[in-house]
Amino acid sequence: MGNTTYITAIEISSSKISGTVGIETYNGIKILAAASTPVKNFISRGVVRNVDEASNAINYIINTLESSLDRVNIKRAYISLAGLSVKSIKSTVTRNFETFTKITPEIIAEMALDNDKTFQTPDGYTRVQVVNQEYKLDGKIDNNPVGAPTMQIEANYLNIVIKEQFLNQLNESFAQAEVEIADSFSAARMDADILLSKDARRNGCALVNIGAETTTIAIYKNDILRKLTVLPLGSRNITNDLCNEQISFDEAEEIKITRGYKSPNNEKEPIDADTVNNIINARMCEILQNIKYQVEESGELVNHLIFTGGGSKLKNLEMLFEEYLPNFQNEIIPEPRFNLDSGNGVNINGIFSTALYGLLKQGKENCCEEIKPAVYTPPVEQNIFTYEQLDEEETQREETEKTIPEISEEEKREQERERIRKEKEERKEKKRLEKERKKKEKGPGLFDFDNWFGKLKQGTKNLVGEITSDDGEESDDDDN
C-alpha cells in the first residue's frame, strides 16, 4: 500500500446508494472499485428513514468494494449531503468605525466568527457549511476589501443547513456499519464545480438537478453560490401517476423512459399516448413552474438554466421548456466525461456520478488500511535457565544453609530415635484401624472368632491365676 492515498466516496440518493474507491495518479483519478445497490423505502427524498436497512446497504457497498481490493480494509468514507432537508439561509454582519479604518485579515476573520455566534439556526436544523458572499464598503460592493479604508463594512454569508434529525440518522447508519465519516460535502456544490464553467457561474445561472424524488436548484452569480434549495418533486412523480392507470411500477418506469413526452409512436397498450402525454405534461409543469419561482425569488439576474440528473433525460423535455420556461436560456448537460481510469474488471456504468467524482477530488485523508499477511516466525531455542539465574539460585541456597544452626551428634541420634518411635506408632495405629474396618465388614450376624478366642484366652489366664492363689494359701496352712 505504501504512501498511496486511497479515497472512499459514498453517495446516498433517492434511487440508489453508490460507492467507489480511487487513487490520484499523474493521469487523473484511477477507479479501483465501484458498487451500487438500489434504494427502496428506507430512503425517501434523499433522507434516511430506516437506519438498520440503510446500514445494511452501506455494509453491502463496503464489502463489495473490499472484495475488489487487494488486502485492504475500508475504515472511513467521504459522503455527499443532499435531499429534501438541505437549504440555504442568508445572513449579514456589519462593522462601523468612528474614523476611516483600513480593513485587515483579522477584521474579516472576526466578522466570520461573529456570524458563527449570531446566526440564528432554525429549530431542528444544524449548520453544515458557510459560503462567503460579497463585502460592501460604505455601501459599494468590494470582493477584495483587505487593505481598503472605510467607515463601514458589511459581510454577507450563505449558511447551508440541514435538519438535525436527518443528519443524525445518516450518521447513525454509518456508525452502525462501522464506517467513519471522514468529511461531508454538499452534492449541489460538487455538481456545480464539475458541470458549470467559470463563465456560467460568473454571468449567472441556475444548476437544476432533477432526481427521482427531489429537484435541487443551485443559483450562481459572480462565481458565488447565492441560493440552494431542494423541491420535494422529482421524475418519480410521473411514474407514480402512470401507476394509477392500473399498471405496475416497472411498467410505468419503462413507459416514462422509452416513450417520454409526445413520442411519435401511437402505442395504446397498456396506456394510450394521450394519457401518457397528459400525465408528463402535468407533472413537469409543476416542477418547471416551481423552478422558475425559486430563481425569480432569489433576486439574482439569472436567465440561464442548466439541467442535469435522471429527470433531465426525459425524451422531448425541450418541448416542455418552450411551453413553461420561454424566457430562459435552457440547456441540458449530457453525461459528463470524467478524467479517470478504471482498473481491470471495474464496471462504472450506471454507478459513477458527478457527486462521487467530486468526493474523490475533495478527499485528502487515506480511507483504507492495509491487511498485513501473517509472517511465520520460528521459535528460538534457548535454555530454560540462564547462567545468571543459576548463579543467583546457588547463592540463595548457600545463604539459606548459613542461617541453619549446627546440632550435636547426640541430638542427631535423639532425632533419629524419635523418628523411629513415631513410625512404629503410625504402623500400630494403622493395624488397629484395619482391624476395626474388617470387623465392621463382617457385620453383627457373623461369628467373631477373634473376639471369642481373645475372651477364651483372657478367661484361661484368670483361672490359672485363681488356682495359683489357692495353692499358696493351702501351703501356708500346712506349715502352720
pLDDT digits (tens, 9 = 90+) for 268-292: 788 888 999 999 999 999 999 999 9
Q: How many residues does the chain have?
A: 480
Residue 27 confidence (pLDDT)? 76
Q: What are the tens digits of pLDDT across the range 52-110? A: 999 999 999 999 999 988 888 999 999 998 888 899 999 999 999 999 999 999 999 99
| 34 DSSP β-pair partners | 20
Q: What are the tens digits of pLDDT across the range 380-389? A: 655 555 556 6
The answer to whether residue 478 scores a pLDDT higher than 60 is: no
pLDDT band at 473 (very low <50, low <70, confident <90, very high): very low
d(CA 410, CA 404): 18
Phi then psi for 132, rounded to 5 degrees? -65, 135
Record the cell numbers describing residue 195, joined without a space.
458541470
Q: What is the pTM of this model?
A: 0.73
The answer to whether residue 376 scores a pLDDT higher than 80 is: no
- The HSE-up count of residue 329 (CA atoms within 13 Å, CB side) is 9
Contact at 8 Å (CB) between 239 and 252? yes
pLDDT band at 431 (very low <50, low <70, confident <90, very high): confident
**Lowest pLDDT segment from 8-22, 337-351, 451-465:** 451-465
pLDDT band at 19 (very low <50, low <70, confident <90, very high): very high
Q: Look-up: residue for cell 433531465? A: 312
Q: 317 vs 233, 237, 278, 286, 323, CA distance in Å?
A: 16, 15, 14, 14, 10
Report percent pLDDT > 90 for the chain.
Answer: 54
Report angle CA 21, 24, 27 to the nearest 5 degrees: 120
Mean pLDDT, rounded, for 394-411: 65
Residue 146 confidence (pLDDT)? 95
Residue 427 confidence (pLDDT)? 78
Mean pLDDT, rounded, for 250-273: 86
Record the cell numbers describing residue 268, joined without a space.
395504446
d(CA 250, CA 246): 12
pLDDT band at 480 (very low <50, low <70, confident <90, very high): very low
Residue 409: CB atoms within 10 A of its CB come to 7
Q: Look-up: residue for cell 483600513? A: 102
Mean pLDDT, rounded, for 412-428: 78
Mean pLDDT, rounded, for 128-139: 93
More confident residue, 459 or 437: 437
Please report how the helices 236-243 and 249-258 are oriented relative to each other, as an axis angle in degrees rounded to 10. 120
Contact at 8 Å (CB) between 123 and 78? no
Phi then psi for 464, rounded to 5 degrees? -60, -40
Q: What is the mean pLDDT of the chain?
A: 84
Most confident of 44-48, 81-85, 296-300: 296-300
Residue 474 confidence (pLDDT)? 43
Contact at 8 Å (CB) between 160 and 228? yes
Residue 343 confidence (pLDDT)? 66
Which ranges constitute the DSSP H helices of 215-316? 236-243, 249-258, 273-297
d(CA 231, CA 86): 10
The answer to whether residue 213 scores a pLDDT higher than 50 is: yes
DSSP 324-342: H-TTSEEEE------SEEE
